[in-house]
Amino acid sequence: MHAKVGDRIIVETERVGMADREGEILGVIESPSGTHFRVRWEDGRESTFWPAAGCARIVPAEPEGRPGPASPETEPAGTATPAGSVR
C-alpha cells in the first residue's frame, strides 16, 4: 500500500451498521514488519495504524494549487462554462 503524508486513508468495516473510519496520514513508517501509518482520525484522535490486506484504501491528497473537479456543492446546476469560454 503506497501512501504519503497528507493522503486520506479509509478503513472499511466488516461489521453491519458500523461506519467506515477515515483519517489523514500524518506519517508513513517503514519497518521490517511492513508499512504502517500515523493517522489523525475524523474524531481528532491520533494513532498508529497497521493495515491488513484489503481493509483500507488510500485517497491521494489534491496537489496544492490544483483544485479537484467541481462538485455539485461548489458549482450550481446550469452554471457550466462551455469549452473555450471565459467566466
Report pLDDT for 78: 47
Report, as an integer, the average pLDDT of 60-79: 57
Contact present, 12 and 55 (Cβ < 8 Å): yes
- pTM attached to this predicted model: 0.66
| Burial group, residue 8, by CB count within 10 angstroms (0-12, 13-18, 19+) | middle
Fold of 8-59: SH3 type barrels. (2.30.30)
41 vs 54 pLDDT, higher one: 41
Picking from 48, 46, 39, the residue whose alpha carbon sits closest to that of residue 5 is: 39
Q: Which residues contact 42 (CB under 8 A, 6 or more apart)?
A: 21, 22, 23
Average pLDDT, the chain: 79
Computed on alpha carbons and rounded to an integer, the radius of gyration of the chain in Å comes to 17
44 vs 55 pLDDT, higher one: 44
DSSP secondary structure string, 3-40?
A: --TT-EEEE--SSTTPPPEEEEEEEEEEETTEEEEEEE
